[in-house]
Amino acid sequence: MQRIYPTSLTPEQYVQQDYHKQVKAPENCPNCGAAHTLEALCYYHRYVTWLTAVLIISVRRFLCRKCLVSVSCLPAFAQPYRAINTATVAAGFSGQTRTREVQHWGTAIASYWQRFEDHLPVLLRQVGNAFGPVPLQPKARDFWRQLLEHCGGLANATGQLVHQFHTCLFGTYRCHQRRQLQAA
């Protein structure tokens, strides 16, 4: 499972402060709901951009003692399975093409948008009217606006999509789904 947690740190500050070592376990296991059952497991490493650079960050993983599912805690500046950081993706999706990082990562951002458009029908089936009324012929542009209005930003929106609807803008992934309790 994955949790997205809000942070005011930039990717660069997260790396410089070794912040991955300070990430606290969620109170409740997002898989089975049990309280205080998550213990530190390990880290995994992944890429995230900062301005025009690419950083490698360590992401904290916990293991639930009760259901034995691992839970990774992704800082909200990173998108699930996508290297371009959340703020840059949001700027690109909102057409802020003048910033240097949006220009630099323009090709990747365009491919993310394509992915989002392709995923939209499935996404809308999952979220229904949660972010606003769904028109008969939904458009990615309109849903993007609804999402920003409703959530105030992509970081918060991603948290809601992952935690409540077990999906994100770009696809539905196994790590966002609940698992059965493993047989004892």
Residues in contact with Zn ion by CB under 5 A are 29, 31-32, 64, 66-67
Q: In the bound complex, what is the minimum distance in angstroms from residue 55's beta carbon to Zn ion?
A: 31
List beta partners, residue 43.
60
Asked whether the beta carbons of 74 and 4 are under 8 A apart, the reply is yes
Asked whether the beta carbons of 157 and 163 are under 8 A apart, the reply is no
| Cβ-based neighbours of 184, under 8 Å, separated by 6 or more | none
Please, which residue, 14 or 62, has the CB nearer to Zn ion?
62
Please, which residue, 31 or 167, has the CB nearer to Zn ion?
31
Please, which residue, 67 or 87, has the CB nearer to Zn ion?
67
Q: In the bound complex, what is the minimum distance in angstroms from residue 70's beta carbon to Zn ion?
A: 10
Please, which residue, 61 or 119, has the CB nearer to Zn ion?
61
Q: In the bound complex, what is the minimum distance in angstroms from residue 7's beta carbon to Zn ion?
A: 24
Q: In the bound complex, what is the minimum distance in angstroms from residue 50's beta carbon to Zn ion?
A: 33
Q: In the bound complex, what is the minimum distance in angstroms from residue 132's beta carbon to Zn ion?
A: 33
**From CA 72, how far away is CA 12, in angstroms rounded?**
20
- Name the one residue in this structure whose structure tokens are 């740190």: 9
User: Would you state the structure tokens that stand for residue 110, as one six-digit string?
Assistant: 């365009």
Please, which residue, 34 or 148, has the CB nearer to Zn ion?
34
* 144-183 burial code (b ≥16 CB/10 A, e <16): bebbbeebeebbbbbbbbbeebbbbbbbeeeebeeeeeee
| Cβ-based neighbours of 143, under 8 Å, separated by 6 or more | 120, 123, 124, 131
Q: In the bound complex, what is the minimum distance in angstroms from residue 32's beta carbon to Zn ion?
A: 3
Please, which residue, 36 or 125, has the CB nearer to Zn ion?
36
- Angle formed by the axes of helices 154-165 and 106-127, nearest 10°: 40
